[in-house]
Structure 1
Amino acid sequence: MTTLGIIGAGHIGSQIARAALTAGYDVVIANSRGPETLSDLVAELGPKARAATAEEAGAAGDVVVVTVPLHALDKIPVEPLAGKIVLDTNNYYFERDGHIDALDQGETTTSQMLQEHLPTSKVVKAFNHIRSADITTDTAPAGAPGRRALALSSDHPDAAEFVEAFYDELGFDAVAVSPLRESWRVERDRPAYVVRQTAAELRENLAKANRLP
């Protein structure tokens, strides 16, 4: 059975953990304060989940989710994630992260920044444009009318393929917007950001996005 390592146990990370466990994955989850602070969450998640350090979660995961604030990217361990698919849920909030000129000028994306930090990993932008509560509630079987769609973006076709299948397992259609440099289309303040949309609507919103205000 696939183990999902999750680095970041906030709203998004804990919800991905719940969804993954329901789909049959094992989960190893970490936060910045230490595994002892996750006892209540792990008790709720059940016996197929355990708490760990970020290094341990990265090492244990066959696939790893990084869901931390942008300003904490440099604290993500590199070696334990080498060769692995890494899902990046991050968004840029200058109010929280401080202004980053390369992002303000449209010269890079948050996921490209993570890929640069993890040069031996296969980064995929995923789960960044959905409210956390919806990850476990706004789902539907494949083929259901009006099924919600989520975007993904990667420079690695096998990593993108995994996320497409993972989305489907969790109850969402998938729309690829690759390579990774195109992931700005689903970032904050673009038409596709945090709105409910079908696959056709998502493709329309991605197409009409502007890079800069």
Structure 2
Amino acid sequence: MSAHTRPNSDPRPRIAVLGAGHTGPVLARVLAEAGYPVSIAASGDPEKIALIMSFLAPDAKPRWAADAVAEADVVILALPLHRFADLDPDRFAGKIVIDTMNYWPPTDGVHALFEDPALGSSEIVQAHLPGAKVVKTLNHIGYHELDESRRLAGSAHRRTLGVAGDDQEAVALTAAILDRVGYDTVTLPSLEAGRAFQPGGPVFGADLTRDRFDLEVSS
């Protein structure tokens, strides 16, 4: 069996997390705990993050970024924004790409790529990765909350996350992943609508149940 082949009986998407700072390891851990095959990559040699990942995300496999992306069905961008422009768009063709990044000029500096006021940041990500199916989510919850806010399906106060994208199959798959991790979801039909999740938007940082979340993004 080649490295790119899975048994037909395993329907779980393979997930690659790019970024090993604050958010990436938490994402890798909760996804692995939900039963997904997960790899994680930083900008260099995976051996440099192997030890810390054995503590922070023990079930995620450190990989070279190129290998992690090549073998993944879903790629999660949990990068420092200034590294995004260095990504090779060709590597992401045909992939579902979950964009968790935010543009914070006061802390990250001004990046010309993200300065177009007519577009949301994930719309710009999609333009830079034209062959990918970009989905915006997980940018409006703090990395420190990702673990502790998980709840079983049907819990009375289960937190809701928004999922927005132009490709509805990619949106549906992403929502299913988040449900299995421990979150309700509200799906939006476009990346443009996902601007509601950005800093300053009505649901950014808000701990809301589905009805309230839906109301906020619909108003």
2:68 aligned with 1:57: yes
Partners of 1:118 and 1:77 in 2: CA distance: 8
Among 163, 166, 170, the residue aligned to 1:155: 166
User: 1:167 pairs with 138, 160, 178, which one?
Assistant: 178
Match of 2:110 in 1: 99
1:21 is aligned to 32
> Retained in 1: the 8 A contact 2:29–2:60?
no
Structure 1 residue identity aligned to 2:78? T
- The answer on 1:141 being equivalent to 2:152 is yes
One-letter identity of the residue aligned with 1:166: I
1:211 aligns with: none
Separation (CA, whole Å) in 1 of partners of 2:96 and 2:52: 25
Q: Among 29, 39, 49, which residue is 1:38 paired with?
A: 49
Given candidates 200, 213, 217, the residue that maps to 1:189 is: 200
Q: Which moved more, 1:27-36 or 1:155-164?
A: 27-36
Task: Show structure 2 runs of 5+ residues with no match.
Answer: 1-9
More displaced stretch, 57-66 vs 74-83: 74-83
Cα distance per residue 1:98-153 (max 9 Å; x no partner): 33578666300111111111111100001001111221111111121121000011
Aligned residues of 1:122 and 1:159 also touching (Cα < 8 A): yes
2:187 aligns with 176
Q: What are the within-5 Å matches in structure 2 for residues 66-85 of structure 1?
A: 66-85=77-96
SS of alignment partner, residue 144 of structure 2: helix
- Are the aligned partners of 2:113 and 2:124 in contact in 1 as well (CA < 8 Å)? no
- Deviation of 1:53 after TM superposition, in Å, equals 2.1
The question of whether the paired residues in 2 share the 8 Å contact of 1:28 and 1:51 is answered with: yes
Per the alignment, do residues 191 and 34 of structure 1 end up closer, same or farther by CA in structure 2, a change over 3 Å counting?
same
Take 2:148 and 2:131, find their aligned partners in 1: how far apart are those partners? Answer: 34
Indicate the SS of the match to 1:135: coil
Distance change in 2, residues 1:101/1:32 (3 Å): closer
Q: Deviations over 1:67-116 (max 9, x none)?
A: 11222211223223210111000111012343357866630011111111
Q: Does 1:110 align with 2:121?
A: yes
**Secondary structure of 1:87's partner?**
strand
Question: Structure 2: which amino acid aligns with 1:99?
Answer: V
> What RMSD over aligned residues (CA atoms) do the two structures have, in Å?
1.8
- Of the structure 1 ranges 28-37 and 155-164, higher mean CA displacement relative to structure 2 is found in 28-37
Give the structure 1 partner of residue 18 of structure 2: 7
SS at match of 2:54: helix
* Runs of 5+ consecutive residues of structure 1 not aligned to the other structure: 209-213
Of 92, 97, 100, which aligns to 1:89? Answer: 100
Identity, % of aligned positions: 31
- The whole-number CA distance in structure 2 between the counterparts of 1:59 and 1:76 is 13
Which whole-Å CA distance do the structure 1 matches of 2:196 and 2:115 have between them? 14
**Aligned equivalents of 1:5, 1:105: Cα separation in 2:** 29
Cα distance in 2 for partners of 1:163, 1:110 equals: 18
Q: Report the count of equivalent residues.
A: 207
TM-score (norm 2): 0.87
